Chains A and B, each alone.
Chain A
Amino acid sequence: MEKEALLTLVHQQLSEKFKEEIISAEMAKDFPVFTVKKEKIQEIFQFLYETKDLEFTFLTDLCGVHYPNNKSRELGVVYHLHNMQKNYRIRIKTFTSISDTSVPTMTKLFSSANWMERETYDFYGIDFKGHPDLRRILNVDDMVIFPLRKEYPLEDPTREDKNDAMFGR
């Protein structure tokens, strides 16, 4: 199916049930992208999972993103869904503010979301409400910062042997 047609199909079906939740629906290169509010996101995913003609039963990817300049919508979670039978792929984004970082979890529907949400928590500090075991997965357990946020540097700030001026930092 052509990507624009897929966008209209999914948009129509979603608008019937979740009109107020959808913030935007647009194409990004060759992907229909939907930005939705985070409150009813579990119901939206359940709807996309079960509805005939949509049946997005495979969660390809889940990651976080940080836009420090979007006030009250700094932290985002990006989901990629895939319908393998008909080869439909869409992207769903939801944003939350940096002061209230809780987003509902997807683990009840997709078991693969378990570690992906833990990774997103580890990097960005997004709390997934309802996650069975939300703790750090890749970084050391006693780290207090969320390193992939834009305000933290790449290099270890405590090292003293590398001269930043010589390395162009």
Chain B
Amino acid sequence: MNKTAPIITEEKEYSTLNLGPTHPATHGIFQNVLKMDGEIIMDAEPTIGYIHRAFEKIAEHRPFYQVTTLTDRLNYCSSPINNMGWHMTVEKLLGVEIPKRAEYMRVIIMELSRIADHIVCDTVIAVDTGAMTGFLYLFQWRELIYEIFEEICGARLTTNIGRIGGMERDFSKKAWDKINIFLKDFPAKLKEFEVLVMRNRIFMDRTIGVGGISAERALNYGFTGPNLRATGVDYDVRVMNPYCSYEDFEFTIPLGTQGDTYDRFMVRLEEMWQSISIIKQALKKMPEGSFHADVPDFYLPPKELVYNQMEALIYHFKIVMGETEIPVGEVYHCVEGGNGELGFYLVSDGGRTPYRLHFRRPCFIYYQAYPEMIKGQFLSDAILTMSSMNVIAGELDA
């Protein structure tokens, strides 16, 4: 836990260090101007916005099905979770019920992308302490996840998976095989990574007691996700406001005690194990049925029907040209993203595009606490704290 924060006095001279927007260790472009007393950080002033792409303004000019490509680029380490969250928001607005099979498929994809996101964060924490091996080993397995996404939707990173109303196609046999191979081989490699790093003397000395925050301050700062669970608060959107059939699965929520870097690392590691278990349960209990809801007004019909049937052609035209009726109203839906509660506040005025779309981005909200977390710490601890918070620049600036 942090010692009491240092006091800035008039007698001492402090140096200013610019942890500038381009820096190898910041894993993203944001700037911190640090006031230092030797190696100890007295104060920090963050500047963000170096990758502000005005998502919220763009969303007001794109039809609903085109906004999915924007959500891809929010937390780009786990794009499918953002896609699914957006689809569920629109489905809530339209009042569409999704069949169980499509929901289970969505759960598998979301948990795979959660594993991908946590692999990046955990291996990068290890790299920042000097342990490059974990990064090299586990990224091989991240390639397997990318191959699964490629089988399902055609893209590796910015996936645009699923459609409003379900999934665009059923998983092919190859996709099922790849998922099974992943589930068979990955746990052993994750165990190997765990053994290398988890009880490693150097790693523990570098990360325990570093960059801690108490549960009360974390809640006041709006923390959610693994960073909040590391402080001991058991808030997980999948359990508190279950969506997409998460109530059918059994999984535990790992909690930390001190809220320091080691706890954040361990919470993410344990969440990966829980995700593997959820995917196994979903595969075992996979129901039969359709992979999309029967809403021809919002779900594009398959191309063979569009070319052969009049009805399908008309629906296709109406959806693409924006002639379908979208209800007026506002809705807020949140999902458990890789970093916490990713919320979508959608205001619709019946038009083709959203009237107002606001993304509640967890990274943006909890990064405010960074100056408080690093006061009184050494510079190398500040770097570790930043990488353990998993700040993704796309989600920070939107």
Contact = CB atoms under 8 A, between A and B. Distances in A.
B61 A112 contact: no
6 contacts: A31-B332, A63-B358, A89-B241, A111-B222, A138-B52, A140-B49
B222 to A, nearest CB: 3
Contacts of A78: 345, 358
B57 A154 contact: yes
A80 interface: yes
B221 A137 contact: no
A164 to B, nearest CB: 13
A38 B63 CA distance: 33
B246 to A, nearest CB: 15
B386 to A, nearest CB: 16
Given A63-B358, A87-B241, A148 B56 contact: yes
Contacts of B92: 29
Interface stretch (B14-22, B258-266, B298-306, B360-368): B360-368
A149 B379 CA distance: 41
Given A29-B331, A61-B343, A154-B57, A112 B368 contact: yes
What is the size category of the interface that chain A forms with chain B? Answer: 20 to 34
B48 A137 contact: yes
Interface in A18-70: 28-29, 31, 33, 57-61, 63, 65-66
Interface of B: 48-49, 52, 54, 56-58, 60-61, 92-93, 217, 219-222, 233, 235, 240-241, 329-332, 334, 341, 343, 345, 347, 356, 358, 360, 364-365, 367-369, 397-398
A138 B48 contact: yes
Contact of A59 (B222, B240, B398): B222
A29 B240 contact: no
Given A87-B241, A110-B220, A147-B54, A138 B49 contact: yes
A117 to B, nearest CB: 11
B365 A115 contact: yes
Interface of A: 28-29, 31, 33, 57-61, 63, 65-66, 78, 80, 84, 87, 89, 91, 110-112, 114-116, 119, 123, 136-140, 147-148, 154
A61 B360 contact: yes
Contact of B332 (A66, A91, A119): A91
Contacts of A139: 49, 52
B397 A138 contact: yes
Contact of B368 (A29, A80, A115): A115
Q: DSSP majority for the A interface?
A: mixed
Contact of A57 (B61, B217, B219, B369): B219
B273 to A, nearest CB: 25
Nearest to A148: B57
A157 to B, nearest CB: 13
Nearest to B53: A138
Nearest to B233: A84
Contact of A112 (B52, B221, B233, B358): B221
B56 A112 contact: no
B329 A28 contact: yes
A139 B343 CA distance: 22
Contacts of B56: 123, 148
A58 B240 contact: no
Contact of A28 (B60, B240, B330, B365): B330
A84 B52 CA distance: 31
Interface centre among B54, B367, B369, B397 (most CB of A within 10 A): B54
A159 to B, nearest CB: 15
A61 B358 contact: yes
Given A111-B217, A112-B220, A154-B54, 16 more contacts: A60-B341, A61-B332, A61-B358, A80-B343, A84-B219, A84-B240, A89-B241, A110-B222, A111-B221, A114-B368, A116-B364, A138-B49, A138-B52, A139-B52, A140-B49, A154-B60
A115 B52 contact: no
B93 A29 contact: yes
Contacts of A140: 49
B90 to A, nearest CB: 12
Nearest to B52: A138
Contact of B222 (A58, A89, A138, A148): A58
A80 B333 CA distance: 11
B243 to A, nearest CB: 12
Contact of A63 (B60, B219, B334, B345): B345
Given A60-B341, A137-B48, A138-B48, A111 B220 contact: yes
A87 to B, nearest CB: 6
A34 to B, nearest CB: 13
B51 to A, nearest CB: 9
Contacts of B347: 65
A66 B357 CA distance: 12
B223 to A, nearest CB: 8
B329 A60 contact: no
Please provide the 9 A-B residue pairs with the shortest distance between their CB atoms, ordered closest to farther.
A112-B222, A138-B49, A63-B358, A138-B52, A61-B360, A111-B220, A115-B368, A111-B221, A65-B356
B393 to A, nearest CB: 12
Nearest to B349: A67
